[in-house]
Amino acid sequence: MRKLNVFPAAFLLISSLLAGCSASPASAQPQSASPSTQEYHEEVVIVGAGGAGLISGITALEAGQDVLIIEKMSFAGGATLLSEGYIAGGGSTFQKEKGIDDDPETIYQDLMKGGKEKNQEDLARLYAENMGAAFNWLTDDLHVPFTEASPLSYPEHTHDRVMVVDGGGSQYVQILKTKYEELGGRILYDTKAQELLTDAGKVIGIRAEDKAGEEILLYADAVLLATGGFGASPDLRPEGLEDVVFYGAVSSTGDGIKMAEKIGAQTLFMDTMKIYPQGLLNPQEKELTDEGALVRNGISCAIGSKQTTNTTGSIYVNLEGSRFINENTDFVSIKEAQLLQPEKKMFLVMDQAGYDAWYAYTSTVLSTELAEDWFQREGQPIFIRAESLSSAAEQAGIDPVKLTETVQHFNEMAKKGNDSDFGRELTGGIEGDTYYIIELKLRTATTLGGVKTNDAMQVLDTQNEVIPGLYAAGEIVGGANGVESMPSCMNAWSLVSARKAASTILENLNH
Ligand SMILES: Cc1cc2nc3c(=O)[nH]c(=O)nc-3n(C[C@H](O)[C@H](O)[C@H](O)COP(=O)(O)OP(=O)(O)OC[C@H]3O[C@@H](n4cnc5c(N)ncnc54)[C@H](O)[C@@H]3O)c2cc1C
C-alpha cells in the first residue's frame, strides 16, 4: 500500500480542479495543507465494492496486479447483496451438464430481443460471447454453489440458462469478498468518491471523502467505476416514474455517472429504468438516501406471484374486475399490459391454496407479522383477506359483481382445462371460503442507463473517444441490455463486464 499522510500539493491540485482547471500532482506547488488529507498512489483504484467492483478486483489480483477498492458504505455488496442471486449462465459447463445446448449467437439474439433491439451491439456481443466462460470462472475458480433457478424456465430466455446462487446475493457477495481479501485485496470503507481528477484529459485519480468529510486523494494509472445504478436518486429518475415502488439499494445513487458526466463522458438510456410488475408497496420501510429522500418503499414478490399463477388458479384482474392477460407470460408483457389498465392497477386474486403458494416464496421478504398487520389495516397497501369474494373485492375497490362473474367464468374454463380467453395452461380455479386480493404495483430496483463504454469497458466521451485512464463495469454502464433487461441478466452483465474491464486495464498497464 502506498499511502502518504499530509499532502500539501494535493490541496493546490484540488483548488485548481474546483476552479475548473486541471493540474498534474508533480507540477502543483504546495502552498497550504490540510493535516488530515490522506494520499494514495495506486496502479488501479476501483470505486464500489459491489459485484462488479469485487469481481474486477479479484480478476486483477489473480493476474498479479495490485488494486485498491473504495466503498462509500460501511460494508461491501451494493445491489448485488440484495439481489436474489439469479445469474444467466448461457454456454456454461453447468448448463451443458443439464443437457441444454446453448450458443453465443442464440444468447445474443435473445439479449437483443429482450432489449427491444436497442442494445449497444458490441456490448451485447461481448456479453453473449463471454457469459459461459465467466460463469465457468464462478463455478470452477471461485466455487460459487449454484442450482438451477426455480421455477426453471423464464419465457424471455429461449433456453434454460438461469441459475441461482445457493444462499442468494448475500452468499454471493460473501464468497467474492472473501476471495478478494484472500488474494490480498484492500477495501477502504466509508470512503465516498466525489470527483474524478484529470490531467490534460486523462483521468489520474479520484477525490474522495471519509465519513467525517476529510479529504482523501487517490492517484491511479487506472480508475474503474463500479458504482452501480441510479434508482435511488430521485433527481436522476426519469419523469413519470416517480410513483413506481423502489426496492433496490440505497447506495444506487448514480454517483459514478454524475462524476463521469462532469468530465465529459457520454451517457445513454438515462430515461429508462427496469420496471417489473409484481411489487408490493411497503409503507413501513423508510430508508433514506444521502439526499434525504424516501426511496425504498417496495418489496418484490415476483417469484411468489409467478409460482402461484403457475401452480394454482390465481388470476390477475384490473379495477373493473376483469382478467387482461395470460398470467404465466413473461414479466415484460405483464408490465406492458398493466400499464394499459385503468389507473395502471393490477390485483392478484387467490383462494387459500393460491395464497399459500404465493406466501411460500414471499415469506423471505414479508414476515407473517407484517402480513397480518396489513390484513388488519385499511388503506395502503391493498392486502385483503375475506370470507367472500365480493367482500374482498369491495375492500380492494374492485367491481364486486364483475369480479364474481370473472371468477365463475374462469372456474368453468379451469374445469374444461381450456383458457379460451388468454391461452393459459390451467391448473385449477378459485374456490373455498377464504379469498385474498393483493394489489401488485409496478416496481423498480435496477437502472439500464449509464455511461457509454466501448467493448473493452473504456468510458467514451460525447465524441465517442476513449477517456484515457477511465473504465466502467456493471450497472453503471448503459447499453448491453438495451431498454429491457431479461431476467438474471444484470448480475451476469456485472460479471462479464467486470472481467473484461480488469483484463483491459491489465493489458493497458502492461504496455
Ligand atoms: C432486490 C434486488 C434483486 C435483484 N435480483 C437480481 C437477480 O436475481 N438477478 C440479476 O441478474 N439481477 C438482479 N438485480 C440487479 C443486480 O443485482 C444489479 O444490477 C447488480 O448487482 C449491479 O452490480 P454492480 O456491482 O454494478 O452494482 P452494486 O452491486 O450496486 O455495487 C455498487 C457499489 O458501489 C458503491 N458506491 C456507489 N457510489 C459510490 C461512491 N461515490 N464512492 C464509493 N462507493 C460507491 C455502492 O455502495 C455499492 O457497494 C437485483 C437488484 C436488486 C436491488
Domains of the chain in start order, with CATH, are 278-287+293-444 (3.90.700.10)
Position in ligand 1 atom list of the atom nearest CA 488? 11
pTM assigned to the model: 0.84
pLDDT per residue over 369-428, tens digit each? Answer: 999 999 998 888 999 999 999 999 999 999 999 999 999 999 999 999 999 999 999 989
Position in ligand 1 atom list of the atom nearest CA 259? 41
Amino acid symbol at 218: L
Residue 368 Cα to ligand 1 midpoint, Å, equals: 28
* Contact status, residue 48 vs residue 252, Cβ threshold 8 Å: no
Residue 21 binned pLDDT confidence (cut-offs 50, 70, 90):
very low
Compute CA distances 488 → 121, 297, 452, whole Å.
19, 22, 22
Q: What is the DSSP letter of 494?
A: H
Position in ligand 1 atom list of the atom nearest CA 492? 11
pLDDT at residue 20 greater than cutoff 80: no
Tell me the best of 246, 446, 453 to mutate to test the pocket of ligand 1, counting ligand atoms within 8 Å of each CB and taking the most: 446
Give the pLDDT of residue 247: 87
pLDDT at residue 467 greater than cutoff 50: yes
Amino acid symbol at 360: A
* Contact status, residue 299 vs residue 365, Cβ threshold 8 Å: yes
Position in ligand 1 atom list of the atom nearest CA 445? 53
Residue 475 Cα to ligand 1 midpoint, Å, equals: 7
Residue 233 binned pLDDT confidence (cut-offs 50, 70, 90):
confident
- What mean pLDDT comes out for the span 473-490? 93
Residue 284 binned pLDDT confidence (cut-offs 50, 70, 90):
low
* Contact status, residue 133 vs residue 170, Cβ threshold 8 Å: no
Axis-axis angle for helices 51-62, 168-182 (nearest 10):
30
Beta-carbon contacts of residue 257 (< 8 Å; ≥ 6 apart): 227, 230, 236, 267, 270, 450, 451, 476
Residues 168 and 166: their CA atoms lie apart, in Å, by 6
- What mean pLDDT comes out for the span 491-495? 97
* Contact status, residue 102 vs residue 159, Cβ threshold 8 Å: yes
Encode 152-171 in three state secondary structure. CCCCCCCCCCEEEECCHHHH
Residue 474 Cα to ligand 1 midpoint, Å, equals: 8
pLDDT at residue 225 greater than cutoff 70: yes
- What mean pLDDT comes out for the span 286-291? 52
Least confident of 226-240, 252-266, 284-298: 284-298
Q: Which residue has the higher pLDDT, 22 or 303?
A: 303
Give the pLDDT of residue 427: 87
* Nearest-CA residue for atom 50 of ligand 1: 83
The stretches of 250-376 forming alpha helices (DSSP H) are 255-262, 302-311, 331-339, 352-362, 368-376
Residues 407 and 431: their CA atoms lie apart, in Å, by 9
Residues 27 and 24: their CA atoms lie apart, in Å, by 5
- What mean pLDDT comes out for the span 460-484? 97
Helix (H) or strand (E) holding 236: none
pLDDT per residue over 162-221, tens digit each? Answer: 899 999 999 999 999 999 999 999 999 999 999 999 999 999 999 999 999 999 999 999
Give the pLDDT of residue 370: 92
Cα-Cα-Cα-Cα dihedral sign, residues 176, 179, 181, 186: negative
Residues 440 and 299: their CA atoms lie apart, in Å, by 10
Compute the half-sphere exposure of residue 320: CA atoms within 13 Å on the CB side of its CA: 9
Residue 411 Cα to ligand 1 midpoint, Å, equals: 42
Q: Which three cell numbers mark 316? A: 390477475
Position in ligand 1 atom list of the atom nearest CA 84? 8
Give the pLDDT of residue 16: 32
Residues 448 and 378: their CA atoms lie apart, in Å, by 36
Q: Which three cell numbers mark 463? A: 465524441
Residues 394 and 399: their CA atoms lie apart, in Å, by 7
CB-based burial label for 510 (10 Å; 0-12, 13-18, 19+): exposed
Position in ligand 1 atom list of the atom nearest CA 491? 11
Residue 252 Cα to ligand 1 midpoint, Å, equals: 7
pLDDT per residue over 25-76, tens digit each? Answer: 332 332 334 667 899 999 999 999 999 999 999 999 999 999 999 999 999 9
Pocket of ligand 1 (CB under 6 A): 47-53, 70-73, 77-80, 82-86, 192-193, 226-228, 247-249, 251-252, 255, 445-446, 474-476, 488-492, 494
Residues 469 and 459: their CA atoms lie apart, in Å, by 9
* Contact status, residue 268 vs residue 478, Cβ threshold 8 Å: yes
pLDDT per residue over 315-367, tens digit each? Answer: 999 999 999 999 999 888 999 999 999 999 999 999 999 999 999 999 988 99
Residues 488 and 156: their CA atoms lie apart, in Å, by 10
Residues 197 and 203: their CA atoms lie apart, in Å, by 6
Residue 385 phi/psi, 5-degree rounding, is -130, 130
Q: E strands along 32-161, which residues?
A: 38-47, 67-70, 86-88, 146-148
* Contact status, residue 275 vs residue 248, Cβ threshold 8 Å: no
Residues 276 and 300: their CA atoms lie apart, in Å, by 9
Place of cell 466455487: 143
